[in-house]
Amino acid sequence: MTPPAYQQIKDYVLGEIHAGHWRAGDQVPSENELVRRFGVARMTVNRAIRELAAEGVLTRSQGAGTFVAATKYQSTLVDIKSIADEIRARGHEHEAAVLKLGAVKADAALAAEMEVAVGATLYHSVILHRENGLPIQLEERWVNPAQAPDYLKQDFVHSTPNEYLVRAAPLSRVEYRIEARRPERGTRTRLEMAKDEPCLVLHRRTFSRGVVASVANLYHPAGRYQFSGYF
């Protein structure tokens, strides 16, 4: 499913800022320029710019133009950190075991999430992350090969999928939800969880250049992990 035109324009602007091509104070292309670039109506471009201004990404000055806001856009994007960096920041040791790494065909549900055709080839990985020897995260991820063509060639024992994807498919948008869930037996066993311990699951869909780059389910033992952050 192709995102609506106004969202494509928003993703383009966010992508240019995230990649460092446009910095705080830089003037962004005029609405007329964006109309020509995307071949859309002026009102479509105006909606995208208005929403980005409302989100604090851009500032508009009548008669002068539209600029990247000095506060940039941290409040519109979740800070995507590598689990390895998160663990090392606590002064602990990170280890990773690659349980699965290969190609799969998208079923109907996965195709809808990845916005590809049913039966399309996707890259798939399952990786167990340990902190000081104790399982802390089970990461299952599906990746769009068009966005990250060398995904299957990576050594995910010594680097994480997140670290590769940040380079290969710069983030332009993210969708996520967090829920507590009773884990399946295989997940419970891999994470060495207590019998009645719930699992914290982060479901995350990331976009790059307006296209879905990856969908991930990140499973954590509730007794050994908590989510935190700030805007």
Confidence of residue 70 (pLDDT cuts 50, 70, 90): low
Q: Do 11 and 61 belong together in one domain?
A: yes
Inside any domain, residue 154: yes
pLDDT of residue 78: 47
Inside any domain, residue 94: yes
Residue 52 DSSP SS3 = helix
Q: With a cut of 70, say whether residue 76 has pLDDT above it.
A: no
Per-residue pLDDT reduced to its tens digit, 203-218: 999 988 888 999 999 9
Q: How many CA atoms lie within 13 A of 115 on its CB side?
A: 16
Q: Do 32 and 131 belong together in one domain?
A: no
Number of CB atoms found within 10 A of residue 196's CB: 6
Q: Do 69 and 91 belong together in one domain?
A: no
Average of per-residue pLDDT across 79-86: 78
pLDDT of residue 79: 56
Q: Do 87 and 131 belong together in one domain?
A: yes
In the 8-state DSSP scheme, what is residue 183?
P
Q: Do 89 and 195 belong together in one domain?
A: yes
Among residues 200, 192, 196, which one has the least CA distance to residue 220?
200
Per-residue pLDDT reduced to its tens digit, 96-125: 999 999 999 999 999 999 999 999 999 999
39: containing domain: 5-75
* CATH, residue 148: 3.40.1410.10
Q: 0.75 cut: is pTM over it?
A: no
Q: Provide the domain count of the chain.
A: 2
CB 214 within 8 A of CB 207: no
Per-residue pLDDT reduced to its tens digit, 42-62: 999 999 999 888 877 888 877
Q: Do 96 and 60 belong together in one domain?
A: no
**Beta-bridge mates of residue 219:** 138, 201
Q: Do 98 and 15 belong together in one domain?
A: no
Q: With a cut of 60, say whether residue 77 has pLDDT above it.
A: no
Cβ neighbours of residue 33 closer than 8 Å, sequence gap 6 or more: none
